Each structure stands twice: as structure tokens, then as C-alpha cells.
Amino acid sequence: MLMSKIKEAIICFKAGRVTAPFPFGPEPNPPQEWFRGKVKLNADRCVGCGGCANVCPPGLIEITDKDGIRYIKRDLFRCIYCGRCVEVCPEKALTMSTEYQLATDQKEKLMIKQELDMVSCQRCGRCFERNMKHKLDKMMKKGFRN
């Protein structure tokens, strides 16, 4: 048994260095364009529908409404990078970046907080963003009824 361990050690030492010196050296392999890294938010496109919170497996997206303002908090330190929130977003406000170096000692750097000024429809009661004139115009062009 001792001889087998010695043989194994000799094989390992002959192989030399097999790991990259990253982060002290160059990045070994840059991520591909399809890589699912950190979630990026385009706040101007978000309408506060809450679809992303409904499909998130770890439940990291928290939505609260208070006095006509919708607060959306995304805790990316719990994210599993599945991309479901990106797939379900109707306005394409969420995208997956190729950023993967997310180590930090401050949780606030991995949180996305957002406030949306919301009003409710007098007909159906659904909430929508107060500044939605451009989105309502787009719906009228697609043929939605008044």
C-alpha cells in the first residue's frame, strides 16, 4: 500500500503545475457570449410587473408596495444564475452578463434596489408604472382595445 502511494506522488509531481495563477495572472479562459453571469438591470425598461419574482427558484426578488411606490429588491448573493427572470421579463429589462468575479465582503454590492412610482387601473385594478405613456402607445399600435 505504501508503494502505491509513493507511485501516485511521483506521478503528481511529474505533472508540474496544472492550475492557472488567476487572479494574480492573466484570466485563463474568458467566458463565452452565452455564459450566464451576473444579472444586469435596465431600470428604465422595468415596468414592475413582478414576473421575475414569480419564477425565481431561490426567491431572491422581493416586491413590496407602499403608498403607490413599488419597491423591488434583488439579492444577487443568493442567485443561482438560472436565467428564468431574464426569460420571463416582457420588457427585456433584465439581462445576463458575462461577469463572474463577484466575490466581495459587502453584501450591498450584490443588491439591486429599485423604486417605481405605480398607479392602479380604474377598470381592472392592475398596477402599472405611472410614466407608461410610451408603453401604452406601443400597445395601441399592436391592436389592443381601449
Q: What is the CATH number assigned to the segment(s) 32-142?
A: 3.30.70.3270
pLDDT in tens, 26-70: 777 788 888 899 999 998 888 888 899 999 999 999 999 888 788
pTM for the structure as a whole: 0.66
Given this model, what pLDDT does residue 24 score? 79
Q: Which of 24-28, 30-34, 116-120, 124-128 has the lowest mean pLDDT?
A: 124-128
Kindly state the DSSP code that residue 102 receives in the 8-state scheme: -
Kindly state the DSSP code that residue 25 receives in the 8-state scheme: S
Over the chain, what is the mean pLDDT?
A: 82
- Closest of 30, 34, 48, 32 to residue 94, by C-alpha: 48
Given this model, what pLDDT does residue 49 score? 86
Given this model, what pLDDT does residue 137 score? 54
The residues that bridge with 75 in the sheet, in sequence order, are 111
pLDDT in tens, 88-111: 998 899 999 998 888 888 988 889
Question: C-alpha grid cell for residue 60?
Answer: 431572491
Q: Please, which residues have CB within 8 angstroms of residue 76's CB and are 6 or more apart in sequence?
A: 38, 39, 60, 102, 110, 111, 112
pLDDT at 146 exceeding the cut of 50 = no
pLDDT at 5 exceeding the cut of 80 = yes
